[in-house]
A and B are shown apart, each in its own frame.
Chain A
């Protein structure tokens, strides 16, 4: 049995400690956002946030996560109450197939949580670990810039943070 904090809730999980977090998120907790892309830590489609940092869940075993806070895209907001990053991706229509998008958003979220006004260069450098095959990159960049602006505005109105610590 492993104990994990995911999206603010404690979960008791019946899984071997070497199990990568991704399988637990997708199968045990039925969370869809983090995706299996390579299982090798090369593409970023499985990206989640652990203690404020973007982490590749496909190569992160459970044993490294005890006592840590895991946040997935589901933990940021919902369709009816989207977080700024989610609103920004909707408003910019920043997806084609969308398979890579959840991972992109989580890496961008982690960046914006520590740097609320990143330069274009900083956004590109941060996202370099994540692959998109449809060629939606221009829109993803626009959406991250828009999310930064939205989060800036949200900070002025408490209770609308849309981010989990």
Chain B
């Protein structure tokens, strides 16, 4: 199927000659990784470039039912509904006649990871173009059957209609291989002004089941004869199991199996709570040798900047004619932070007749399959991964590890479906965290209050240690014959990892941006929503305010002074207007106003956030009172879905920014539940969040899932600085740090 084909489409295209279509099929790439090098030949857009056959994306049955296939995983972003809207729109088919099938290694395209705010741009774009081309093929087929020119036909409600009202349904028209053709580079997309389904706030297809107790999550899978497994993880990184008497545990009621493979220790029981009890007994029986290898938590900035790094200048601009008069500098830090999924990771696996099936909430069924196949020394074709929703992940949490755990145990119990459920403390202690980061900034203002030169340095680990290889999965690392953790690699620009959004979107006459990539990873880390953009935008946008103060300028006006990007300017202006931002305006007593802006990755959605924060001067407690955001994510598919993403980004980023840091001593992670890793609760929820959309009809979809994280953080930090007169540069901006700053 991957070979170029010569396709005679005269059967379906009226008057068309033989059409030769061929595309190179590069391997699908992980979205946290670099985009593939552009090939010179015109290629169809989005993920069609790597999966060009129309029937890989859309299938129509004789009864008219339509199935849309995406290689992306629904993580609670709501894109399943958005994809259904896109396909319904471009096909001219009733929304309800469609269903969307998500990531499955036997059914869908390999679209790598569901990450980097790429789903709309990769998969949504592919589906839009495929739907338009399928509609074209169906019209052509109808034209042939009716012996009418295609341009005389129109489509409506899943059928092609002739001028005299004759109706041929898509089900009638579609023939065996009609859609098994490669996509053309260009599609005749609808005029956005005619959209009926796209652009509408269609209710999410998954919500009714989720609010009535329907089976919606991998945790809800119950297979006949399924057993329950629990893992006993080492107490810390690198701990070795030196002794474990499993005999008493094996005799516990309901226990089916105790599995030990090197440092991998698990127990299986017929009933779930018996598995939990057995896990506790097994944990008590296990003797580990621990190593003190964790860095000093209260000296992270020093630890990170002193580790060996690979340094590269990623941006340089020079205009010696412009010289600064007044220079300021500052350093900002971010701790390790947890994804903190509300549901600990879970997976179900079954090994039958030499084939492994794994139901998992991984973000990447194909790369995860590769890792599991390698771990079990099985051919990837014998491993089948099916994505089923889990609790929201916000990046690489324990999902892939739980999948590997389940597969390893199921491999030892042929025929038996095995469900692995991580415990709360396992998710908190073993998930790969969002990496700690350090930034150092220095800039000068000229005599007109404009930035003359800008220096930005960022120190960071990579932001993706996702599987591909088995060495990224805990089970494979802990086996008696372990797989080594692969060497970390920086994620290349333009998307970047630690340097994501490190290059300013503003235009400065002199600028110098350096990425210090740190290969050594003191804590287990990987991708967390927005990657390095969260801290880089926090740093840049905090520093922009510091510079605005130094220049005696209004923060909004100061940003506009340095921004050429027209869409960016409009987003800033809209947020400022919606907030009621006025130059020189003072916030009420003990309150502050803050503003921040970014374009995610400098190539995805634009987002500006204005906020009002109240600070209790006695306790230091900050509270976000209200926020107004403006967002431009190109053509909007589902405005309510987009608003939901931005609202969520602001609230989640507020939690990261005000409360969160992973804690540890020299051997163990000590933030292992919601008491030791507190996050936002309802008492801190703002009075209002207003998200305003700038729609761009006909423009490409720009991913929006991560665009709010950085601006929300900096906006809140700037509001705290406005309220207290003190600038806080070390995340999280806890009440203690605020109180200390006020008292200093």
Contact = CB atoms under 8 A, between A and B. Distances in A.
A55 interface: no
List 10 A-B pairs, minimum CB-CB distance, nearest first: A97-B76, A135-B651, A97-B392, A33-B213, A135-B648, A98-B210, A99-B391, A74-B213, A38-B424, A42-B674
Contacts of A86: 211-212
Interface stretch (B43-51, B147-155, B176-184, B682-690): B682-690
9 contacts: A35-B217, A35-B219, A35-B343, A78-B212, A98-B211, A101-B211, A135-B654, A135-B680, A136-B644
B650 to A, nearest CB: 7
Contact of B681 (A38, A72, A128): A128
A134 B213 contact: no
B674 A73 contact: no
Nearest to B428: A38
Contact of B683 (A42, A95, A128): A128
B380 interface: no
Nearest to B74: A97
A39 B76 contact: no
Contacts of A115: none
B273 A19 contact: yes
The listed residue with most B CB atoms (<10 A of its CB), out of A23, A37, A43, A134, is A134
A137 interface: yes
Interface string B192-209: 000000000001101111
Given A36-B219, A37-B343, A39-B424, A135 B212 contact: no
B386 interface: no
User: Range of interface residues on chain A?
Assistant: 35 or more
A36 B421 contact: yes
A134 B392 contact: yes
A16 interface: yes
Contacts of A93: 203-204, 207, 640, 644
Interface string A8-51: 00000001100110010011001111011111101101000000
A125 B259 CA distance: 45
A98 B76 contact: yes
B146 to A, nearest CB: 41
Nearest to B271: A27
A16 B651 CA distance: 41
B272 A27 contact: yes
A118 interface: no
B732 interface: no
Interface string A118-160: 0000011101101111111111010000000000000000000
Contact of B685 (A23, A31, A95, A138): A138
B648 A134 contact: yes
A137 B651 contact: yes
Contact of A133 (B206, B210, B214, B341): B341
Contacts of B686: 138
Given A30-B222, A40-B424, A99 B647 contact: no
A112 to B, nearest CB: 15
A98 B204 CA distance: 11
B649 A135 contact: yes
B389 interface: yes
A116 to B, nearest CB: 20
Contacts of A138: 647, 651, 685-686, 688-689
A42 to B, nearest CB: 4
A139 B647 contact: yes
Contacts of B204: 93, 95
Which label, helix, strand, loop or mixed, suits the secondary structure of the A interface? loop
A93 B510 CA distance: 47
B418 to A, nearest CB: 14
A124 B644 contact: no
Interface in A74-116: 74, 77-79, 82, 86, 89-90, 93, 95-102, 105
B391 A97 contact: yes
B216 A32 contact: yes
B311 interface: no
A86 B208 CA distance: 8
Contacts of A35: 217, 219, 342-343, 391
B358 interface: no
Contact of B342 (A128, A132, A137): A132
Interface in B210-247: 210-217, 219-220, 222
B423 interface: yes
Contact of A89 (B211, B424, B652): B211
B211 A82 contact: yes
A36 B344 contact: yes
Interface string B376-399: 000000000000011110100000
Given A42-B673, A96-B76, A131 B683 contact: no
A134 B652 contact: yes
Given A35-B219, A89-B207, A99-B342, A133 B392 contact: yes
Contact of A79 (B76, B212, B276, B688): B212
Nearest to B675: A42
A138 B685 CA distance: 8
Nearest to A78: B212
Given A36-B343, A45-B343, A82 B212 contact: yes
Nearest to A83: B212
Interface in B331-381: 340-344
A82 B212 CA distance: 7
A30 B648 CA distance: 31
B681 A90 contact: no
Nearest to A74: B213
A16 B423 CA distance: 21
Given A39-B424, A40-B424, A135-B680, 5 more contacts: A16-B273, A23-B271, A37-B391, A79-B209, A95-B207
A129 to B, nearest CB: 8
B618 to A, nearest CB: 21
A135 B652 CA distance: 5
B220 A32 contact: yes
A73 B647 contact: no
B77 interface: yes
Contacts of A135: 647-652, 654-655, 680
A95 B342 CA distance: 13
The CB with the most chain B CB atoms within 10 A, among A15, A33, A77, A93, is that of A93
Nearest to A130: B682
Given A93-B640, A97-B76, A136-B644, A131 B211 contact: no
Among A73, A102, A131, residue most surrounded by chain B Cβ atoms (within 10 Å): A131
A42 B425 CA distance: 12
Contacts of A33: 212-213
Interface in B244-274: 271-273
B28 interface: no
Contacts of B217: 32, 35, 99
B685 A137 contact: yes
A79 B424 contact: no
B651 A39 contact: no
B468 interface: no
